[in-house]
Structure 1
Amino acid sequence: SRIASLLHRKTSKQCKARWYEWLDPSIKKTEWSREEEEKLLHLAKLMPTQWRTIAPIVGRTAAQCLEHYEYLLDQAQKKNEDGDDIIDPRKLKPGEIDPNPETKPARPDPK
């Protein structure tokens, strides 16, 4: 609250959140390693939207985890768009919809 009293328009709650999410010197701000990214993806799959639980396991803040997870999803989507747009129907699992169904009629039209 002492810091908040020095900053007009900021509450003590906002100052505390800013410290713990961004300014604390113990926050890891280096680039993400491949192992950290794999761990993040695995944990996000197990515990979707539970960033406060995932963050201490990965060793980052919840905001960093969410932001980097969204970045990884964007990169994967961009890679799919840039790469092979045609999905091989042989790779589809049972129950999945074939995006390129065969459009030929089953039998010829009567004359």
Structure 2
Amino acid sequence: MTNVIAFALVYWELDRGGPVFRRHSPRHELPRADFRFPQDEDHDAVKEVAARSSAKTGWTASFIDYVYFSLSNSMAFSPTDTMPLSARAKSLMGLEAFGGFVLLALVIADAVSLLAQ
């Protein structure tokens, strides 16, 4: 959980100038995105899906979006619905996935060593 929350906070702080800038600036003034969320591409989907798109509502990602994204990246060891766009986003996602993999390997190795005793 620490890995997921720590990376969610980092993603939340880095993407598009940080949470304060995203909240108080119009969408067209935001810096380049580090991540591509599905809501940024749903404007031409069926009506009920398009109604929640960023183009129609001015949606920007909130902390819960970054927590979900961090959790899915950590569990799958790869991006799921949110794709990295910048080199720093790709590096951070790779570091998170690698850290999750190492932790999993250590837990499995510990379990196997307990069984072997």
- Mark the structure with the bigger radius of gyration: 1
TM-score, with normalisation over the residues of structure 1?
Answer: 0.28
The answer to which structure, 1 or 2, has the higher relative contact order (CA under 8 A, 6+ apart) is 2
TM-score, with normalisation over the residues of structure 2?
Answer: 0.27
The structure richer in helix per residue is 2
